[in-house]
Amino acid sequence: MKIYFIKKPCPTCKTKIGLGLFSDRGKIIRCSNCGELLMDDPKSNYVLLLLIVSGMILSMGFRHFFGASALRDIMLLIVFSALFFFFIHLKVVKKDLVIKNKQTLEISYIDQADWHEIVENAKGKDNNFEIIEKL
């Protein structure tokens, strides 16, 4: 059972979707209510990088001018982490097919062009992928 600390609304139906702290980053997930494919916005990764760098610079500045304090550093970490969670947004991803790898049972979301490439590469060989659903 996963514990989700972050709940963000689906852009389509506004259903709250639980996200893991780090496990769902860059992964396509499906809305349980409307079935829309969602992914975190790549811009939030840049915001994360900016927040981490600014938090480190601020922490080093405080240490240099006011002396070392572990409590202040922990508080800065908590504040910048909370700001990061505020900036996470989900966006709708348009994919055509849901496929499954027959060997690993892993499910992937791809475009029709990617499927044609898989079929071309598997000519004369056993195709390890099968289409589960057309979106």
**Residues ≥6 apart with Cβ < 8 Å to 31:** 10, 12, 13, 15, 17, 37, 38
Confidence (pLDDT) at 39: 82
Q: What is the pLDDT of residues 75-115, one digit of tens each?
A: 877 787 777 777 777 788 888 888 888 888 888 888 888 88
Confidence (pLDDT) at 21: 62
Q: What is the pLDDT of residues 119-132, one digit of tens each?
A: 888 887 888 888 88
Confidence (pLDDT) at 48: 75
How far apart, in whole angstroms, are the C-alpha atoms of residue 27 and residue 56? 27
How far apart, in whole angstroms, are the C-alpha atoms of residue 118 and residue 69? 56
Q: What is the pLDDT of residues 25-80, one digit of tens each?
A: 667 888 888 888 888 777 776 777 787 788 778 877 877 787 777 787 778 777 87
Confidence (pLDDT) at 131: 82
- Give yes or no for a contact between 84 and 100, defined as CB atoms under 8 angstroms apart: no
* CA angle (49 as vertex; 18, 22 as ends), nearest 5: 30
Q: What is the pLDDT of residues 4-22, one digit of tens each?
A: 667 888 888 888 887 766 6
